[in-house]
Structure 1
Amino acid sequence: MTNLASNLVATAQAHPDQVAIKLDDAELTWQQLHGMAARAAGAMRAAGLEPGDRVALILPNIPAFPVLFYGALLAGGTVVPMNPLLKAQEIEYFFTDSGAKFAFAWGDFLGEAQGGAEGTSTKVIASGPVGPSEEDLPAGEPLAAPVERDDEDTAVILYTSGTTGRPKGAELTHRNLHLNAQRSAHDIIGITSDDVVMGCLPLFHVFGLTCGLNAATLTGATLTLVPRFEPGKALEVIERDQVTIFEGVPTMYGAMLHHPAVDATDISSLRTCVSGGSSLPEQTLTEFEAKFKVRLLEGYGLSETSPVASFNMLDKPSKPGTIGRAIPGCEMKLVDDNGDEVGPGEGVGEIAIRGDNIMKGYWNKPEETAAAIRDGWFYSGDIASVDDEGYYTIVDRKKDMIIRGGMNIYPREVEEVLYTHPDVLECAVVGVPHPELGEDVGAAVSLREGASGDVDEIRAYVKDRIAAYKYPRLVWVLDEIPKGPTGKILKREVQAPSA
C-alpha cells in the first residue's frame, strides 16, 4: 500500500455497483465514486497540482468531500481538511501555513474562503454537490490509478491547536491512516461490505474521516451522510437507510435517547455504536444500550494518533467510564511528572502513546514536534489511571482545552480575539458546565479604565471573528483576573457566576 486512495480503487473493483455514498435521495456507487475522483484528480493535475502539493477542503458532509478527498490523493496531493465554520482570518492562517495550492469550498462558505485567500497563493475553487464545474476547474485526463506515494509521505494535514501558539498541522501519513482505518473497521467496530455506516461526524474531523469515510472505503460499506446533526433527522435516517453502525460524540447519543420520536422509530437495524471526542457519561451509555439494544463502545484518540489509540472492543466486555484498552499496533503507558512510568493501581499519569498511528510530526514545526514526541512516544497531555486489565480512565486534562459537544476549543485562540477588543484589559477563557453539550465556553474579562463593560457587545465582537462554536456564550466582568505570584493568570481560580 503506497497511496491511501488504493483502497478506493480496490473497493470499486470488488463492489462496483454497491452504494458507496448516500445523502438522502442522492447515491453514488463505488464505481461512480472512483470515476468522479479520477476525473477530479486529472483536472487537478491539469491545473498544476504536483505530488505533495496541499489541497484544502472547506466542505460539509456532502458527496463532494469524498470525491475531492480521494481525487487529491489519487493525484498524489496532500489533503488539508478544514472546518467550514472558520472565518476569513482563521482561514488565511491555514492557507498560509499549509501553503495550499487549491482550496475547494462549498457555496455557503465561499465568501469566507475567498476572503481568507487574499494575500495568499491559494486558489479558491467553488464546489457543487459532487465537485467543481468544468468552468471552475477545466477537465484533464482522468487518473484512475493512484500516483505512487511512499508509506511515510504525508496524506493529510489536520490542524489542531495547543494551549499556546497558533494551530499546528499534524502530518498523518498514508500508512498512519490506512492502518488506523483497518484497525477501526476490523478490530474495533467490525465493519463489512454489508454494513451501512452513519456519517454524522464531520468528515473534516479525524474521527469521521478515519472511522467513517476511510473505514467504509476499506471495507465497501455504505456511508450515509448527514451534513448537520439533528437527533430527529438522525433517527429518520437510521430507519430509512437501515443503518447498522452509528458513530458519534456523547451529545449525539443523549440527544437521540431523549428525542420524542425515538419510541416511534424503527431502530432495530443498529448493531454497533461507537463514541469518542469527549467522555461519555455512564448513565447515557447504559440507558442507550438498553433502549437501542446495541453495544455502545467508547474509545479515545487525538488528531496526532490518526486518531484511534484505545477502545472498548467487541472481543471483550466493555467497562463503562473507561476509554478501553490500547488497540492493536499501538502501545500506551502513563508517565508522572518525573518521567517515571505509573503502573496499574499506582495513581495517575500522562498518557503516552507509541505505534503505527503516531503522526509524522507537526507541519514545519520541528520544535513542537520534538516536545510532543520523545523517544518515539507521543505525549498526549491527558491524565489517566489504568487498571490491571489495561483499561484506561481519563481523570483530567493537562491542557486547558474545552470540549463543547465533541468539538475541541482552545482557550488561547478565543483569548487572542478578546484581547483585540478595545475595552478588554485581561481575560481568561474557561469551560463551564452545560447539561447537553458537556461544556460551553465562558470568558472572564477585566476592563480598561473608562470602558462601558457591555458584555453582550463583547460577546458579539468575538462571535463575528471566530467560528460560531468557539465564541463565549457566557461573558462576565471581574475587577481583576486571579493571578499567581509571578503574575500568571490562574484559570483554576476563575469561576463562572452562578445563574
Structure 2
Amino acid sequence: MATLSVAAILAENARRRPDTTALVEGDLRLTFAEVWHRALAQAGALAGLGVRPGDRVALMAPNTAEFPVAYYAIAAAGGVVVPVHLLLSAGEVGHVLQDSGASLLLVHPTKGGTGRAAADALGVRTVTLGEEFDQLAADAEPLPSYVTRAVDDPAVIFYTSGTTGVPKGAVLSHFNIVMNATVHAFDTNDIRADDIALGALPLFHAFGQTVSLNSTWRAGATLVLLPRFDAARAIELMVKEGVNTFHGVPTMFVALAAAAQDAEALPELRVCVSGGASLPVAVLERFEAAFGARVHEGYGLSETSPTATVNQPVFGTRAGTIGHPLWGVDVEIARAEVESRVELLPPGELGEVVIRGHNVFSGYLGRPEATAEALVDGWFRTGDLGTKDEDGFLRIVDRKKDVIIRGGYNVYPREVEEVLVRHPGVAQVAVIGLPDELHGEEVCAVVVPAPGTAPDAAAITAWSREHLGRHKYPRRVEFTDAMPLGPSMKVLKRELRARYADRP
C-alpha cells in the first residue's frame, strides 16, 4: 500500500534544511527544525487527548504561528484537519463541527467565545491554542515521527463557501494536497528555496493553505505571516522582511495598488499570484504599474485542492485569462446544458469548465448525490462558464448561476464589471440580475465608490452605455460602502440579489 502524509512537507524540511527560517510572525522567527519539533510535541498531545488516525480535528485560528504548527501537528498525528472560517457565527461553526464529525476543536483565544459556544452545544471537546495547548504539548511524549497514512486517506475537509446554500465538506486526500503543493513549488511559477512569501491570505481557506503555506514550505522557502490584512501594513512588512512573493485575492490587489501611492518604499516583488475570484484587467494593470511586478492569475476551487490553472512562465502570461492547466491536470470546456455526461467542445466555444487530474477531490462528505452531480465521466464539473482559445489559454466568463438573461439575451456580469471598474468613480463593482416584469431580468451594478468621489447613478449608466452593448449596460446602479464577502473573499452575489430585489 502506497503511503503519504502532508506532514512530510514539514518533516523533510526539518531534515534537509533544519536551520532555514520557516516562519516569521511579528518578532517570532522559527526554523524548520523548530516548527517540526513543536508540531511533534503537539501531535503527542493530540494522541494523549484520544485523537486517532482518521479522526477529524477542527482548527479555528487566524494567520498566527499557532495555525501552521497545529495544522502539521494534526497531520502528524494522522488526524484530518477541518479548517473553520473565522467569520462564522456559533450556529455556523456548529454546522461544520457536526457535519464533519469533529471530535476536538483547537481554537485561538481571539475566537474562543464563538468556538466554545458551538462546541459545548454539541459536546465536542475544546482546547485553546497558546497556553493551554502548549502546556498539554509540554507534558506529552512527542511523537517520534508522523503517522503513516494511505495516499487516498482524507487529509483536510474544506467547507465550501455555500454560495449555493448549506456549506458542504469537500474531502481532500494527502495525495491531492501534496501534489498540488509540489506542482506549485516546482512546475508552475519560478519558486526558489530562498524566496520569502507573505502569508496574508487566510490559512483556513484552500488558496492560502495550499499556495501560501504548503507550496512555500514544499519549496523550502520562508513564510511571513500577516494576521490581519491591511494594505499599508502589508507593504511595510514586505519591505522590512524582504518579501518577494505575494499571493492575494483581487480585493487585496485593489488595496495594495491604492496604498502604493503613499508608501515610503515598495517591496521588490518577483512572483505575484492572484486567485479566489476574477481579477479585472484594469486592477492588474494598476498593480503592475505601481509595483513593477507581473501578476500571474490562476483559478481553482476547494474541490480541486484548490489550483487547477494559472498563468505560467513556460506558456507566457496573458492578462484577463487564468492561463493553462497545472502539470498533470486537464481542464476543458464542456457543453453546459448537458449535465448527465461530459461532452467536450472545440476551442473558442463557451461552455462549462471541467477538470480532471491529481487535484480533484474524493467527494462531498456524506453527500453521495451531490458528489455524483459534481463528478461526471471522470471530470469535476465546476459550475463556471469559460472558453479555451487556440493557444490553450483559459478564460472564466462567469458562474453558470450568475448569468443574467435580459430579454432573451445572455449577459455575463464579469464582462460588464471589467468595463465599469475603469470608471474613475468606481473602486469596486458587482453586477447582478434582478427580476424585471418586462425583460425577465434587469442588469444592476452595485458600486463601491472610489475614495473622494461621489458618482451619480444616472451618469454611470450613461457612461456605461457608451462602452457596452444595448442589452448589457446597467439600467440600475446602487451604491454600497462595502461588498458582502464569503469565506474566500468572493463577493456574495446572492446576498446582493436578496438585498436589492425588493427595492423599486
Normalised to the residue count of structure 1, the TM-score between the two structures is: 0.80
SS at match of 1:252: helix
Per-residue CA distance 1:65-111 (angstroms, 9 max, x = gap) = 01100000000000001111211000111111111111111112111
Q: Is the 8 A contact 1:34 1:144 kept in 2?
A: no
Q: Is the 8 A contact 1:100 1:121 kept in 2?
A: no
Residues of 1 paired with 2:257 and 2:161: CA distance? 32
TM-aligned CA distance change 1:199 to 1:163, over 3 Å: closer
Shift of 1:138: 7.2
Partner residue, 2:343: 340
Per-residue CA distance 1:1-42 (angstroms, 9 max, x = gap) = 611101111101111111111012111111110000000000
TM-aligned CA distance change 1:144 to 1:209, over 3 Å: farther
Select which of 5, 29, 32 maps to 2:31: 29
Partner residue, 2:302: 303
Q: Is the 8 A contact 2:41 2:138 kept in 1?
A: no
Shift of 1:475: 7.4
**Residue 222 of structure 2 is aligned to residue 222 of structure 1:** yes
Residues of 2 paired with 1:340 and 1:474: CA distance? 32
Shift of 1:298: 0.2
TM-aligned CA distance change 1:354 to 1:289, over 3 Å: same
Residues of 2 paired with 1:474 and 1:174: CA distance? 38
Q: Is the 8 A contact 1:46 1:139 kept in 2?
A: no
Partner residue, 1:253: 253
Residues of 2 paired with 1:477 and 1:244: CA distance? 42
Partner residue, 1:38: 40
Partner residue, 1:152: 152
Give the partner amino acid of 1:63: A
Partner residue, 1:293: 292
TM-aligned CA distance change 1:400 to 1:167, over 3 Å: farther
Shift of 1:255: 1.0
TM-aligned CA distance change 1:50 to 1:398, over 3 Å: same
- Which residues of structure 2 form unaligned runs of 5+? 404-412, 415-429, 433-443, 452-483
Per-residue CA distance 1:375-421 (angstroms, 9 max, x = gap) = 11000000001100111111110135999xxxxx9x9xxxxxxxxxx
1:55-454 equivalent positions in 2, closer than 5 A: 55-128=57-130, 132-134=133-135, 139-259=139-259, 262-268=262-268, 270-336=269-335, 337-338=337-338, 339-345=342-348, 347-400=349-402, 432-434=446-448
- Which residues of structure 1 form unaligned runs of 5+? 404-408, 412-429, 438-461, 482-495
Per-residue CA distance 1:116-143 (angstroms, 9 max, x = gap) = 11332421111128x72326x6732111
Partner residue, 2:418: none
Residues of 2 paired with 1:161 and 1:355: CA distance? 23
Shift of 1:266: 3.4
1:441-480 equivalent positions in 2, closer than 5 A: none
TM-aligned CA distance change 1:263 to 1:134, over 3 Å: closer
Shift of 1:261: 5.3
Residues of 2 paired with 1:272 and 1:287: CA distance? 16
Q: Is the 8 A contact 1:35 1:144 kept in 2?
A: no
Shift of 1:288: 2.0
SS at match of 2:134: coil
Q: Is the 8 A contact 1:13 1:31 kept in 2?
A: yes
Per-residue CA distance 1:406-450 (angstroms, 9 max, x = gap) = xxx9x9xxxxxxxxxxxxxxxxxx99444579xxxxxxxxxxxxx
Q: In angstroms, what is the RMSD of aligned CA positions?
A: 2.9
Give the partner amino acid of 2:36: H
TM-aligned CA distance change 1:334 to 1:474, over 3 Å: closer
Per-residue CA distance 1:355-391 (angstroms, 9 max, x = gap) = 0000011111111111100111000000001100111
Shift of 1:216: 1.8
TM-aligned CA distance change 1:477 to 1:305, over 3 Å: closer
Partner residue, 2:459: none
Partner residue, 2:5: 3
Partner residue, 1:493: none
Q: Is the 8 A contact 1:170 1:304 kept in 2?
A: yes
Q: Is the 8 A contact 1:235 1:262 kept in 2?
A: no
TM-aligned CA distance change 1:436 to 1:138, over 3 Å: farther
Q: Is the 8 A contact 1:226 1:234 kept in 2?
A: yes
TM-aligned CA distance change 1:260 to 1:154, over 3 Å: closer
Q: Could you tell me the percent identity over the aligned residues? A: 40
**Runs (4+) off by over 4 Å:** 161-165, 260-263, 400-403, 469-478
Higher helix share: 2
TM-aligned CA distance change 1:161 to 1:287, over 3 Å: closer
SS at match of 2:373: helix
Give the partner amino acid of 1:223: L
Q: Is the 8 A contact 1:189 1:274 kept in 2?
A: no
Per-residue CA distance 1:251-285 (angstroms, 9 max, x = gap) = 111211111655521322x1110000111111221
Normalised to the residue count of structure 2, the TM-score between the two structures is: 0.79
